[in-house]
Chain A
């Protein structure tokens, strides 16, 4: 037990000793005593730094106290300030017990890490700021009997404050304005009123739980004894008077919406009420659902919807064929093993599948066949030839009507064929003594095999309801009679008037039409060794071939423009040695041959002109409108091949020159229009759009290195554009199993997509080999 040493703050002359010298005096006294009385006179930083190795040190401060009392105080030190204290009591204190028996000013406990500051009065602003807590040691404590000033406990990191609210400086607000800004640790017990301006993002207000209350209750007497105020112990021992602010752990803070009011609460209590308690758009858009949805939705919330558009669009083969023969269906029947039905099907469209599709047609179907993107087009011509010997199916029951058809070429024959099969009596009036028009009269047998043709003509003639009148020279009078006696009259006379050019010597020139007709007759004409054909189109090529067949050795086709010949006709002529020469403008034709505009002679013994034929319409009654194109009159028709006289139809070349298959097509259209008239139905043109190649998926097919030649090969190769192949790929690829195949009661099947499962990914459309599935916006 050492002697008490008193250190005065004034020197012998009554002058204040500066803080540096005073500290040296204190440290010197401390070396010999652990009981110090500091009669300070405003010296700063006193009471701390007394390195005592844990032994108790008792320091009493009796004079006017300077700033930072107990600065860097160490454990074991007890500092008692017997009056009020200035700023920053306990600054950087790491363990001293500091008692202030009066008030303390600002900054109490600033950056304190351990120990206690116990104040008998109130404190100023910024108390308990930057207070630390190292978990290896005790929490620092600040005890205040009265109240604390503004901005209390800023950035408090673990300190505990107890604010008792006894005789507070501001009874309305014992915690001051805006406490706890930036506070991240520790807690505050307080008693009395506050302005609730504490930082809500840092602390939350709670009531002490049992453990916290026990903590407080256990320590209260020690504090009150230290400041000698045991008299208020009972007052302070009322649990209900105490409240707490406790720091919000960062983990919890991160979960809070940083706004002080949850948005749903704001919406209910403030927002909706602003609009009279309802949606602000309810008058503009009643019932508008604006509730949140996700990115992937089904049902009505999809932006697109898949649609199994089976047979809604035409395959290119059917679309580009003037008769619209559905080859895709033919091949499907073949795949299904129904070859008879397959070959019969085509007879619904044409009486000449072998003669036209299979022989002379340039096959627009094959030119546009989608399969070409993989290897080669489907051999539709071969399919046509396979129908050659198929007997005509029975005709429909009679409708009791009859139709006159003037001209027995391909157009008239198909009109008759369609009408007859539908139960209408079809009467063909043909000028010649055989059917077929130019097919029979003009096209060389090399290109249209005679046997094939005759077989199909026989099938035609053996069909019920078909009546043919040969050798009829149509006149105006006869035509009027027909119009009167028949339910409809179809003009299908073709073009049998050769075009000519009146150059000198034109009388030496043989029209191609006459030449070819004669060539095919029993009395073929003589030709010279050298032949010139004026006009190098496909008919010109036929002429050239025919000339070679009849003995010519050198055939030259001349034209004033680049020859229009193409395809088989051109190849055949070239193979025989025909030469094409252009531009050649004919000046005259002499005995030596053709003289062109440059006076050059192309020697020829025979000159044939092949620049087209025009209709001969002298039988046509007044009132049927015609139009003049290229110096000739052609009958004007509408989409149904109907002329300006509703009862008269015109089909084939007489309407517009074209391919044999165009003639077949118009014959079918006229027949359908007449049937609609008979049945009182509205005729509708073929309206299907063509399937876009982009919608097909060619990658499903493997290229065939030696394309198939059997009908079964073709059936397998067909891409079935626009018509479901029933391959189940859509069902397989659908990621949400929305697509199923359903049998229909009426026979057949359909694929359907379940709206409640489908997310409109479009995989069905991207996968469908046939381009059947489409996605439509809705």
Chain B
């Protein structure tokens, strides 16, 4: 038995220097106002009383002994459950710049202890790969220097939108038009789409703030932005609102919220933008949603049609689908039929070497409206670290191979490919998106970027914060606790969404104008792009530049 006066040591006993984030507290500046400990989302810090011994040792004097001085400081806990997550909210509330977390530059030993109680580490966020991404390294090098009509990004008008839905070849279109046959629906949308994040993964203020911003983009700015719901349904009032047309409803393996959607169909003022069938997610390929009980509030439970406070894992796969053919047949048909074949229906899959097989099935399916491929750098609100870090396929070559495959069949203009996964992970949203478009995507889905831009998500690929999965989001983005999500003002989120898309629109023009491109998106315009990496250039069939 370890005696009380001794210090116990366990295999998981760590020091602050073993943790991923080290709290730097400057006692000289601290006013002990209590705000940092009040706000810390995980209770990582506390007021610590420490005792200093000051020996009185004077060789020539007989008066000896020790005196003691008590001093205080804000110190971090070192047990794995209360480790600092580096969010820096303490720093945000400190009136004196006395406290801040610093990344551990040396030796993070905590990573070996994230499996307490045998449960492997889970987190929100995405693959922790800091530094420039492949997309960041692509440059647009075909500049119209007096060789093409000079375009002015500020003055000329640009057709920046893309089409979601199956586009028939002209002769087939005319034939059907004349014979009065069914023509697949297409939607003209902005090519940067807010990717599926569920009402549940996101807080009500975040989700509705995003939608409000999307509505603003459409109705005030004239930018036809759409957003996908994720798997968690949609509030009935939203389903019955005129804003439904800006929403891509997602159906996934958990089928959450679909009872409310089906109930609302007769009352819908307009059709949804599209239906997304989720088969996979780039952040956690082969794994389903992991909404845990602490995020299943009364509201979320009501929306999803489940009891309050239960775990809501979605199965990794759709339980009644056994093959691609069947998936494509059954799901796309059922979903198309719900809105009388007037709403585009497309599947979302994880980036994978098998993406081309899926695509080829879709090409043959008359009702398939596109394919969304979500690459390995995609984000999520909750996944096992191993799924997030080790599973998946980078988006660039995946979407490129699919596009070239369509080209080989002469179908590249018929079935749009959408790409996702790490778009804008270092802030280069437009550059990343247009790089993917030039590799062959008709548009891109953005998730984490919009959380960072529109709501101030603190998460990073250095594993800052990333606690979306436990409902403690300090910004209120991924929490279902009103005490946290009320920190987020939906109006401000909406404003930031508007600002973000206005800015993307301008940046797109700044890229397209020098390319001399204004009448249509440069989908597959790979001759305009280069990279200073021979292997990548060869693989993607773009120019090698140096």
Query: Which positions in A face B, CB cutoff 8 Å?
Result: 151, 154, 178, 181-182, 257-261, 263-264, 266-267, 270-271, 274-276, 278-285, 288-297, 301-303, 368-370, 372-373, 693, 697-700, 702-703, 705, 733-736, 759-763, 766-767
The 3 closest A-B pairs by CB, nearest first: A761-B34, A699-B49, A766-B47
In the complex formed, the residue of A with least CB distance to B212 is A271
CB neighbours (8 Å) of B115 from chain A are: none
CB neighbours (8 Å) of A303 from chain B are: 481, 483-484
* Interchain CB contact under 8 A, B37 and A763: yes
- Interface residue from A267, A284, A288 paired with B212 (Cβ < 8 Å): A267
CB neighbours (8 Å) of B482 from chain A are: 288-290
- Contact of A261 with B241 at beta-carbon distance under 8 Å, contacts A178-B155, A702-B68 already known: no
Cα of A303 to Cα of B474 in the assembled complex, Å: 12
- Contact of A761 with B35 at beta-carbon distance under 8 Å, contacts A259-B221, A292-B488 already known: yes
- Contact of A295 with B93 at beta-carbon distance under 8 Å, contacts A154-B155, A267-B212, A283-B237 already known: yes
Cα of A291 to Cα of B487 in the assembled complex, Å: 8
Among B168-176, B433-441, B492-500, the stretch in contact with A = B492-500
- Contact of A373 with B92 at beta-carbon distance under 8 Å, contacts A303-B481, A736-B34, A763-B47 already known: no
- Interface residue from B32, B299, B491 paired with A263 (Cβ < 8 Å): B491
Cα of A611 to Cα of B277 in the assembled complex, Å: 75
- Count of A-B contacts with CB under 8 A? 176
* Interchain CB contact under 8 A, B302 and A259: no
In the complex formed, the residue of B with least CB distance to A296 is B35
B68, B216, B238: residue with the most chain A Cβ atoms closer than 10 Å:
B216
- Interface residue from A178, A264, A278, A705 paired with B491 (Cβ < 8 Å): A264
| Cβ distance A693 to chain B, nearest Cβ, rounded Å | 7
Cα of A281 to Cα of B38 in the assembled complex, Å: 30
| Cβ distance B307 to chain A, nearest Cβ, rounded Å | 15
- Interface residue from B31, B216, B242, B486 paired with A266 (Cβ < 8 Å): B216
In the complex formed, the residue of A with least CB distance to B156 is A151
Cα of A703 to Cα of B68 in the assembled complex, Å: 9
Sample of 6 A–B contacts (CB below 8 Å)? A261-B216, A263-B498, A284-B303, A288-B482, A301-B483, A736-B34
- Chain A CB within 8 A of B250 CB: no
Query: Which positions in B face A, CB cutoff 8 Å?
Result: 3-5, 31-39, 43, 46-51, 65-66, 68, 70, 89, 92-93, 154-155, 204-205, 208, 212, 215-216, 219-221, 235-238, 240-243, 298-299, 302-303, 474, 481-492, 494-495, 498-499, 502
- Contact of A270 with B302 at beta-carbon distance under 8 Å, contacts A154-B155, A283-B236, A759-B34 already known: no
A-side interface mostly: loop
Cα of A593 to Cα of B298 in the assembled complex, Å: 79
| Cβ distance B91 to chain A, nearest Cβ, rounded Å | 11
Cα of A369 to Cα of B484 in the assembled complex, Å: 41
* Interchain CB contact under 8 A, B215 and A292: no
* Interchain CB contact under 8 A, B243 and A295: no
A270, A283, A295, A698: residue with the most chain B Cβ atoms closer than 10 Å:
A295
- Contact of A257 with B495 at beta-carbon distance under 8 Å, contacts A266-B220, A761-B38 already known: yes
- Contact of A295 with B4 at beta-carbon distance under 8 Å, contacts A151-B155, A260-B221, A702-B51 already known: no
* Interchain CB contact under 8 A, A290 and B204: yes
* Interchain CB contact under 8 A, B237 and A263: no
CB neighbours (8 Å) of B495 from chain A are: 257, 259, 263
* Interchain CB contact under 8 A, B486 and A284: no
Cα of A373 to Cα of B8 in the assembled complex, Å: 12
CB neighbours (8 Å) of A760 from chain B are: 38
Cα of A644 to Cα of B32 in the assembled complex, Å: 60
* Interchain CB contact under 8 A, A258 and B237: no
A-B contact sample (17 more), CB < 8 A, given A369-B4, A759-B35: A154-B155, A264-B491, A266-B494, A267-B494, A278-B237, A280-B241, A283-B235, A285-B302, A288-B482, A290-B204, A293-B486, A295-B39, A295-B89, A295-B474, A761-B33, A762-B37, A762-B46
| Cβ distance A587 to chain B, nearest Cβ, rounded Å | 35
Cα of A279 to Cα of B154 in the assembled complex, Å: 38
Cα of A178 to Cα of B157 in the assembled complex, Å: 10
CB neighbours (8 Å) of A369 from chain B are: 4
- Interface residue from B242, B298, B474, B491 paired with A274 (Cβ < 8 Å): B242
* Interchain CB contact under 8 A, B34 and A735: yes
* Interchain CB contact under 8 A, B216 and A285: no
CB neighbours (8 Å) of B238 from chain A are: 275, 280
CB neighbours (8 Å) of B34 from chain A are: 734-736, 759, 761-763
* Interchain CB contact under 8 A, A373 and B4: yes
- Contact of A181 with B155 at beta-carbon distance under 8 Å, contacts A257-B495, A303-B481 already known: yes
- Interface residue from B35, B46, B220, B486 paired with A290 (Cβ < 8 Å): B486
| Cβ distance B268 to chain A, nearest Cβ, rounded Å | 13
A182, A274, A279: residue with the most chain B Cβ atoms closer than 10 Å:
A274
- Contact of A263 with B216 at beta-carbon distance under 8 Å, contacts A280-B237, A283-B237 already known: yes
* Interchain CB contact under 8 A, A693 and B154: no
| Cβ distance B509 to chain A, nearest Cβ, rounded Å | 12
In the complex formed, the residue of A with least CB distance to B496 is A263
Cα of A368 to Cα of B5 in the assembled complex, Å: 10
